[in-house]
């Protein structure tokens, strides 16, 4: 109780003063006028609400914090409201589209304590056509220096009890859970992005942007209601955030989309991150890669040294040769360095990031890879021992830079970082940021596994290429529940995928799992191909072993599919059932299309009206054979060519757990 009394709730009971200066209500409309944010003082509490097309989406919802410094107390007065409007575009170095439009109306509302120390803070609201963003700012001021946030009290009072797709925040690790669908009121404490579908078939997604020096946001329903309240991942001592003015919170975002295409094409998260801080981007290159990864997860090779060590010079040369002869760009070397022998999850401090195992000749391999035009991808598994990693960080990336290694996959396998702090805590957020910034200085791209949930930092640091933070294909090698169900990949593009690129690592052609026969990739080959279009990442792995790909006609699709796009359009879909996505290649006039289904067979009719009206095209189609089925006949794939144009309505039959992948390029 005493502790509770020490916490001062800020932002409360401001009504009197708002009434005094007559500015109790501030409204911000989106440029198209459809979305309106209202800020008001309600019953003395500062609250905001959101309407779209005249209907309420978010009822009056509380804003504010609990702080441990005490005495930052209501009443507050609105000192100032500053308005701004922006309409600009910026180009992405890589992405799902090239040019991003950033168009919003903004109100920065400055509040000040009326009595006592008269401290200040601000709430900045931005209304976009696709939704809203808001954040808190604590300016530098004489009476507020260092402080601790013990709770953020931001709420999202949803107007309806929408069905939501979620993963739990504290049950399960690294965001690697299967998504569950349940009404908002029955959610556990869940991670963001949180995606909901309204009764009229529209979509709402709550997330955050620009998580830089703060804890990740989770949400829970207050007393079984539709009011979602913020739960920040704590440090081990229970504090949520250590702050010092001037200080800003991450942005809280609510995307309001008319359909799945609108959801995927919302750029609110990226627009609320800082512009690029890297001048020379020439070394940042999207691409496809292979590696010994799948064979290790299937227990055919090991990370540790010994007779089955995967990352040997000879083995890596074989993978480099394969990549070079199949138009791929990179080869990932997991288990190349010292530290894997023994229990590497418990002994993460043994990892050395610039010392190779004796049977891995780094110098020779980087020379060999260079002669073949292949990029060697390094691997920094830390076992969650971040202090050990940070003590070697400069040396580790200098080592990469010296050897011409421009990408590194990082990893943090351990329930806690340094056996103490959560990955999504402010501690974790600070660590990941440090790694990304250090890597940027040494011109190294990052593929981060076991991350904090992405929030769009790749706009500022485009060397942050892709991340895990999803239950990826590795579960199909060893999980005890049989592997990812076929519906999983129809959900993640609209949930985790809204947070940014995913290193899911598909590409299985051989579905046998000798070590765990009950577990397998629950997909057909055609669906594996389609995932290269449906799930976005600028680094994509062809995860199976070269022996599965050699001489397989369907591998052609993995060779030709791009990883960098000019435009993305979700043609059709239902979360948990099926998805059909079209993307236009950034470097040619070709379109690519991926369609996938859950465990049910499905016939789709897809209009190709996205194509240029004045052109004829040829579609090369990689589809399920009529007999294909993920359980009984996953490899039955048909490859055929078909003339198409913008008037074509394509009939696609997807097998249970199946899919179809198409390249559609100009031609007769």
Min dist CB 352 to ligand NOJ, Å, is 15
In whole angstroms, how close is the CB of 468 to ligand NOJ at the nearest point? Answer: 5
Q: How many residues does the chain have?
A: 668
The CA distances from residue 330 to 370, 462, 517, 543, in Å, are 11, 18, 30, 12
450 is catalytic: no
- Active-site entry in 390, 474, 550, 559: 474
Nearer to ligand NOJ, 449 or 602 (CB): 449
- Which residue, 135 or 520, is less far from ligand NOJ as judged by CB? 520
Single residue of 46, 75, 131, 411 touching ligand NOJ by CB under 6 A: 411
**Eight-class DSSP state of 234:** P
CB of 431 to ligand NOJ, least distance (A): 16
Min dist. Cβ of residue 410 to ligand NOJ (A):
9
Burial 365-384 (b: 16+ CB within 10 A, else e): bbebbeeeebbbbbbbbbbb
Instruction: Find the shortest distance in angstroms from Cβ 174 to ligand NOJ.
Output: 8
List binders of ligand NOJ among 277-336 (CB under 6 A).
293, 334
Between CA 642 and CA 153 the distance in angstroms is: 56
106 or 341, CB closer to ligand NOJ? 341
**Count of other CB atoms within 10 angstroms of residue 568:** 17
Q: Based on CB atoms, which residue is closest to ligand NOJ, 255 or 302?
A: 302
**Could you identify the residue written with the tokens 């396998």?**
413
Task: Tell me the backbone φ, ψ of residue 521, rounded to 5 degrees.
Answer: -75, 115
The minimum distance between CB 503 and ligand NOJ, in angstroms, equals 8
For residue 610, how many C-alpha atoms fall within 13 Å in the half-sphere facing its CB?
24
Interface positions, 554-613, toward ligand NOJ (CB under 6 A): none
Q: Among residues 231 and 468, whose Cβ is nearest to ligand NOJ?
A: 468
In this complex, which beta carbon is closest to ligand NOJ, that of residue 411 or of residue 493? 411
**Contact with ligand NOJ (CB under 6 A) among 126, 309, 449, 459:** 449
> Is the Cβ–Cβ distance between 117 and 147 less than 8 Å?
no
In this structure, the strands spanning 464-467 and 539-541 are unpaired
By rule CB under 6 A, what count of residues binds ligand NOJ?
8
Dihedral (CA of 349, 354, 355, 360) sign? positive
233, 422 in Cβ contact below 8 A?
Answer: yes
Residues 457, 469: contact at Cβ < 8 Å? no
Q: Name the minimum Å distance from CB 95 to ligand NOJ.
A: 23
**Nearer of residues 398 and 413 to ligand NOJ, judged by Cβ:** 413
Cβ burial 296-318 (10 Å sphere, 16+ → b, else e)? bbbeebbbbbeeebbbbbebbbe
381 binds ligand NOJ (CB under 6 A): yes
Structure token digits, residue 276: 């690029």
Cβ 49 vs Cβ 132: under 8 Å: no
447 counts as binding ligand NOJ under rule CB under 6 A = no
3-state secondary structure of 403: coil
Q: Give the count of beta carbons closer than 10 Å to the beta carbon of residue 550.
A: 12
Q: Bridge-partner residues for 603, per DSSP?
A: 653
The residue within the footprint of ligand NOJ, chosen from 96, 155, 197, 468 (CB under 6 A), is 468
The Cα–Cα gap between 11 and 138 comes to 13
> What tokens appear for 398 in the block?
């200098």
Contacting ligand NOJ within 493-522 (CB under 6 A): none
Helix then strand count (H, E) for the chain reads 14, 37
Please choose, from the candidates 279, 126, 321, the residue with its C-alpha nearest in 3D space to the C-alpha of residue 209: 126
In a 13 Å sphere around the CA of 28, the CA atoms on its Cβ side amount to 28
Q: Give Cα 66 to chain centroid, integer Å.
A: 29
Residues in 608-637 at the binding interface with ligand NOJ, rule: CB under 6 A: none
Q: Please name the residue ranges forming H helices in 382-534.
A: 386-402, 426-441, 475-478, 488-491, 525-534
Nearer Cβ to ligand NOJ (113/334): 334
Least spacing, CB of residue 294 vs ligand NOJ, in Å: 9
Q: What is the 3-state secondary structure (H, E, C) of 314-343?
A: HHHHHHHHHHHHCCCCEEECCCCECCCCCC
Q: Is 126 in the site for ligand NOJ (CB under 6 A)?
A: no
In the complex, what is the shortest distance from the CB of residue 334 to ligand NOJ, in angstroms, rounded to a whole number? Answer: 5
Nearer to ligand NOJ, 26 or 408 (CB): 408
Residue 474 lies near ligand NOJ (rule: CB under 6 A)? yes
Residue 78 vs 465, nearer CB to ligand NOJ: 465
Interface of this chain with ligand NOJ, residues 151 to 190, rule: CB under 6 A: none
Residue with Cβ nearer ligand NOJ (231 or 381): 381
Q: Where is 3: in which H helix or E strand?
A: helix 2-6
- Other beta carbons within 10 Å of 445: 28
Tokens representing 294 are: 């799948």
Beta carbon of residue 385, minimum distance to ligand NOJ (angstroms, whole number): 13
Residue 413, interface with ligand NOJ (CB under 6 A)? yes
Question: What is the smallest separation between the CB atom of 409 and ligand NOJ, expressed in angstroms?
Answer: 7
> Which of 326, 252, 246 is closest to 289 using CA atoms?
326
Closest residue by Cα to residue 599 from 556, 655, 656, 652: 656
Q: Which residues are catalytic?
A: 474
Residues found near ligand NOJ in the complex (CB under 6 A)? 293, 334, 381, 411, 413, 449, 468, 474
């Amino acid at each position: 109780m005493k502790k509770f009394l020490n916490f001062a709730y800020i932002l409360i009971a401001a009504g009197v003063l708002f009434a005094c200066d007559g500015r109790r209500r501030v409204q911000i409309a989106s440029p198209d006028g459809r979305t309106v944010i209202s800020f008001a003082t309600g019953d003395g509490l500062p609250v905001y609400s959101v309407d779209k097309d005249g209907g309420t989406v978010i009822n009056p919802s509380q804003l504010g914090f609990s702080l441990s410094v005490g005495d930052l107390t209501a009443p507050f007065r609105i000192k100032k409201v500053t308005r701004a409007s922006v309409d600009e575009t910026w180009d992405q170095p890589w992405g799902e589209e090239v040019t991003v439009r950033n168009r919003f109306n903004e109100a920065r509302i400055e509040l000040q304590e009326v009595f006592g120390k008269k401290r200040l803070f601000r709430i900045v609201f931005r209304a976009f056509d696709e939704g809203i963003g808001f954040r808190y700012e604590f300016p530098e001021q004489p009476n507020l220096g260092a402080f601790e946030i013990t709770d953020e009290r931001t709420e999202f009072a949803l107007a309806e009890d929408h069905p939501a797709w979620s993963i739990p925040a504290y049950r399960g690790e690294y965001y690697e859970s299967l998504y569950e669908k349940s009404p908002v009121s029955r959610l556990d404490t869940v991670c963001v992005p949180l995606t909901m579908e309204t009764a009229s078939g529209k979509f709402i997604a709550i997330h955050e942007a620009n998580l830089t020096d703060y804890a990740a946001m989770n949400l829970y329903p207050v007393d079984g209601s539709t009011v979602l309240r913020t739960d920040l991942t704590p440090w081990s001592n229970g504090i949520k955030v250590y702050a010092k003015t001037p200080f800003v919170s991450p942005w809280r975002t609510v995307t309001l989309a008319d359909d799945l295409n609108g959801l995927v094409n919302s750029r609110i998260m990226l627009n609320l991150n800082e512009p690029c801080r890297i001048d020379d981007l020439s070394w940042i290159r999207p691409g496809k890669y292979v590696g010994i990864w799948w064979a290790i997860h299937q227990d055919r090779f090991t990370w540790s040294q010994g007779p089955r060590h995967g990352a040997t010079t000879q083995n890596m040369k074989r993978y480099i040769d394969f990549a070079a002869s199949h138009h791929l760009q990179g080869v990932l070397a997991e288990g190349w360095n010292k530290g894997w022998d023994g229990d590497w999850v418990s002994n993460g401090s043994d990892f050395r990031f610039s010392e190779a195992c004796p049977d891995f000749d780094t110098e020779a391999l980087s020379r060999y890879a260079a002669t073949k035009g292949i990029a060697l991808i390094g691997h920094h598994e830390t076992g969650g021992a971040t202090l050990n990693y940070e003590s070697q960080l400069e040396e580790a990336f200098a080592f990469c830079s010296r050897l011409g290694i421009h990408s590194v996959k990082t990893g943090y396998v351990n329930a806690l970082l340094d056996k103490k702090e959560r990955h999504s805590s402010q501690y974790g957020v600070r660590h990941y940021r440090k790694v990304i910034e250090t890597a940027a200085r040494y011109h190294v791209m990052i593929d981060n596994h076991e991350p904090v949930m992405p929030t769009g930092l790749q706009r500022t640091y485009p060397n942050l290429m892709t991340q895990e933070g999803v239950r990826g294909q590795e579960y199909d090698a060893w999980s005890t529940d049989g592997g990812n169900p076929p519906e999983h990949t129809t959900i993640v593009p609209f949930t985790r995928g809204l947070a940014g690129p995913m290193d899911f690592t598909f590409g299985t052609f051989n579905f046998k799992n000798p070590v765990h026969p009950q577990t397998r990739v629950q997909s057909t080959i055609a669906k594996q191909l389609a995932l290269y279009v449906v799930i976005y990442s600028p680094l994509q792995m062809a995860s199976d072993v070269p022996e599965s790909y050699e001489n397989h006609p369907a591998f052609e699709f993995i060779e030709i599919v791009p990883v960098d796009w000019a435009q993305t359009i979700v043609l059709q879909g239902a979360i948990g059932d099926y998805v059909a996505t079209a993307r236009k290649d950034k470097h040619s006039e070709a379109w690519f299309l991926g369609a996938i289904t859950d465990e049910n067979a499905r016939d789709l009719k897809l209009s190709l009206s996205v194509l240029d009206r004045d052109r004829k095209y040829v579609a090369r189609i990689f589809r399920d054979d009529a007999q294909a089925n993920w359980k009984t006949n996953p490899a039955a794939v048909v490859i055929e060519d078909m003339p198409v144009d913008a008037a074509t309505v394509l009939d696609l039959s997807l097998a249970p757990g199946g899919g179809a992948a198409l390249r559609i390029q100009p031609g007769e």
